[in-house]
């Protein structure tokens, strides 16, 4: 925007998007299952957030506002695209899902994370999906920084072990 003076509101919002964008995009990807759809969903949610930016008084509420906007937009999309179903005597051909929409790796990672004990799973999700720092995780979970670090270390070790076992089974 050469030659245009940006308002403090715009600058604050731009800084927020630059800082939190990657974590919010991961959230959108988990909602949609598609990178392209996730980008569209996040963009729509950020537009709604920008329009309400002045009403979001607590900076800690911003992520929640964007996430709620994404979920609401996705629900609205589902409702718009809902198919009408009418009873019939003929059974239509069954649609075969395209297996490329979800990679095998993502499925393996998701199942491995689901097998972690609750504290390890929570810590991994907060760190790698919500993109929180270890200090933020410690504060949110009400534990020490050392507990977060050791819990993350054990969780990552366990995930790597699971991955090694899967690779061994598929290649051996």
Q: Where are the domains of the chain?
A: 8-80, 103-171
Residue-level pLDDT at 101? 47
Across the range 65-83, mean pLDDT stands at 80
Please check the confidence at residue 95 and state whether its pLDDT lies above 70: no
Across the range 10-24, mean pLDDT stands at 90
The Cα 169–Cα 172 span in angstroms is 5
151 or 87: which leads in pLDDT: 151
Is the domain defined by 8-80 classed in CATH 1.10.1740? yes
Contacts of 73 (CB under 8 A, 6+ apart): 41, 44, 45, 48
84 or 144: which leads in pLDDT: 144
**Contact call for residues 71 and 31 (beta carbons, < 8 A):** yes
* Token pair 């490329």: residue: 100
Please check the confidence at residue 4 and state whether its pLDDT lies above 60: no
**pLDDT tens profile 32-57:** 878 888 899 899 999 999 988 888 88
Please check the confidence at residue 74 and state whether its pLDDT lies above 70: yes
Q: How far is CA 13 from the centre of its chain?
A: 20
C-alpha torsion angle, residues 144, 148, 149, 151 (rounded to 10): 130
The token pair at 137 is 């995780």
CA distances from 121 to 104, 112, 124, 164 (A): 20, 10, 5, 19
Chain mean pLDDT for the chain: 81
* Token pair 């629900």: residue: 75
Residue-level pLDDT at 99? 54
Please check the confidence at residue 12 and state whether its pLDDT lies above 70: yes
Residue-level pLDDT at 29? 87
**Contact call for residues 152 and 135 (beta carbons, < 8 A):** no
Contacts by 19-22 with C-beta closer than 8 Å and gap 24+? 20/62, 20/63, 20/66, 20/131, 22/131
Is the domain defined by 103-171 classed in CATH 1.10.10.10? yes
Across the range 89-99, mean pLDDT stands at 62
Please check the confidence at residue 6 and state whether its pLDDT lies above 80: no
Q: Choose among 46, 42, 20, 47: nearest CA to 31.
A: 42
The token pair at 112 is 């491995």
**pLDDT tens profile 96-150:** 555 554 566 677 778 888 888 889 988 888 888 888 889 998 998 889 999 999 9
What's the pTM value of the predicted model, to 2 decimals? 0.48
């Amino acid at each position: 925007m050469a030659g245009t003076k940006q308002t403090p509101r715009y600058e604050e919002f731009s800084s927020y998007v630059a800082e939190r964008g990657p974590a919010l995009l991961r959230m959108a990807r988990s909602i949609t299952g598609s990178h392209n759809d996730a980008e569209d969903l996040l963009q729509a949610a950020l537009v709604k957030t920008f329009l309400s930016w002045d009403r979001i008084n607590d900076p800690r509420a911003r992520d929640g506002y964007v996430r709620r906007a994404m979920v609401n937009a996705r629900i609205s999309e589902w409702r718009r695209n809902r198919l009408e179903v009418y009873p019939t005597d003929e059974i239509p051909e069954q649609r075969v899902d395209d297996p490329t929409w979800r990679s095998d790796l993502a499925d393996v990672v998701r199942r491995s994370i689901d097998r972690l004990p609750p504290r390890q799973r929570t810590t991994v999700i907060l760190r790698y999906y919500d993109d929180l720092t270890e200090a933020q995780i410690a504060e949110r979970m009400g534990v020490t920084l050392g507990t977060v670090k050791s819990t993350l270390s054990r969780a990552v070790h366990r995930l790597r072990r699971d991955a090694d076992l899967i690779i061994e089974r598929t290649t051996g």
